[in-house]
Amino acid sequence: MDVHGRDLRYFAAVAEELNFTRAAERLFVSQPALSKQIRMLEKQVGACLFHRDRRSVRLTVVGEALLPHARGMLAAWEAAEEAVEEARAAELHTLVIGMSTSPGRGLLPALRTRLISRYPHARPVLRQVNWADPSAGLADGSSDVAFVWLPLPDGDRYRHAVVAREPRFVALPQGHPLAARAAADREGAVDFTDLLDEPFLALPSEAGPLRDYWLALDARDGRAPRIGAVVGSAEETHEAVANGQGVVLLATGNAPLVVRDEVIAVPVRGISPSRLAVAARRDDERPLVAAYLAAAAKVGAGTS
């Protein structure tokens, strides 16, 4: 028996009004149409649901049995509709922001303020992603927008706005010979050529071109780096540097994540600056995504 929700709604209305005219008015349908639907429902259940005469309408025993179940099914469907609507609204207003580490630099509050000013009902949700995914969740769709370091693997899949351009530093144990050299340098820096023989901490191999970038392969003249350890978080990086497993390049703004407890960072000459960006999939044209990218572009350009 395939009974539609409309049939149950019509039946419940007649059962509550015990009057076809009033029930039809309540349902905004014609009385003949309502009577037809009730007859069809009775045919489906194989029994009369109402006793009808010129003066009254009464439920039959079968109608009495059906009514509480009809009400329960209608209430359940109404609850389902409300749940679906709430889920749709939440999905419409939620923006999942992926990141491998907190971007700092005042970026999150600045971008949130700009987003909310345009979309007051927007709900930004932060999502932490392992360093093995350089797209911070964009590649598999688990993030809507993401803070990423350039270059991105499969860069043509994404559009981005650069929010920070910063020199790269090298993190060293405080007692490392290069720390003393940097202290004696007029600029407090070291040359990248001084680091070529050092063991480096590397991102997981899944990071692709981003792993190569933080190893500065383009500045090594073809010399392969020595890999001291593979790291997947800021805490792992700090521990590996502190334990003498290797040195690591990092952006100026990320230095506070690693520099503490006998680990220092000094500027490096001879390599390009780092670029932190907000990115999204190129085919994602949702308004919240576009608004967040627009806000990132303004922040990156230093405009209000």
> How many C-beta neighbours within 10 Å does residue 218 have?
10
Burial category of 287 from C-beta neighbours within 10 Å (exposed 0-12, middle 13-18, buried 19 and up):
exposed
Question: Is 26 in the same domain as 39?
Answer: yes
The series of mean pLDDT values per 10 residues for the chain, 304 residues long, is 82 92 91 91 91 89 92 89 71 84 86 91 90 90 93 90 92 90 87 94 90 93 92 91 93 89 91 93 91 91 62
Beta strand 57-59 with 50-52 is antiparallel
Tell me if 264 sits within 8 A of 238, measured CB to CB: no
Question: Is 47 in the same domain as 97?
Answer: no
Q: What is the pLDDT of residue 92?
A: 65
Question: Is 63 in the same domain as 115?
Answer: no
Question: Is 37 in the same domain as 54?
Answer: yes
Q: What is the pLDDT of residue 89?
A: 63
Could you say which of 59, 89, 119 is where a domain stops?
A: 89
Question: Is 80 in the same domain as 100?
Answer: no
Question: Is 190 in the same domain as 106?
Answer: no
Q: What is the pLDDT of residue 90?
A: 58
Site of tokens 């100026």: 252
Question: Is 130 in the same domain as 159?
Answer: yes
Q: What is the pLDDT of residue 88?
A: 67
Tell me if 101 sits within 8 A of 238, measured CB to CB: no
Question: Is 255 in the same domain as 114?
Answer: no
Could you say which of 43, 68, 89 is where a domain stops?
A: 89
Query: To 10 degrees, the CA torsion angle through 137, 139, 144, 146?
Result: 60
Q: What is the pLDDT of residue 160?
A: 95
Helices (H), the chain: 5-17, 20-27, 31-45, 61-93, 107-118, 177-184, 209-214, 234-242, 255-258, 287-301
Question: Is 159 in the same domain as 279?
Answer: yes
CATH of the domain at 79: 1.10.10.10
pTM for this entry: 0.67
Could you say which of 89, 110, 141 is where a domain stops?
A: 89
Q: What is the pLDDT of residue 262?
A: 87
CATH of the domain at 241: 3.40.190.10
Among 225, 222, 177, 237, residue whose Cα is nearest residue 199: 225
Domain span including residue 11: 5-89
- Is residue 221 helix, strand or coil? coil
Tokens of 23: 């029930």
Report how far Cα 258 is from the mean position of its chain's Cα atoms: 26
Q: What is the pLDDT of residue 269?
A: 93
Residues with Cβ within 8 Å of 288's Cβ and at least 6 positions away in sequence, in order, are: 93, 95, 115, 119, 122, 144
Question: Is 177 in the same domain as 242?
Answer: yes
- Degrees (nearest 5) of the Cα angle 103, 201, 267? 65
- 3-state SS of the chain: helix, strand, coil percent to 5? 45, 25, 30
Q: What is the pLDDT of residue 220?
A: 93
When divided into structural domains, the chain yields a total of 3
| Phi, psi (deg, nearest 5) at residue 119 | -130, 85
Question: Is 267 in the same domain as 279?
Answer: no
Among 132, 131, 128, residue whose Cα is nearest residue 143: 128
Question: Is 240 in the same domain as 200?
Answer: yes
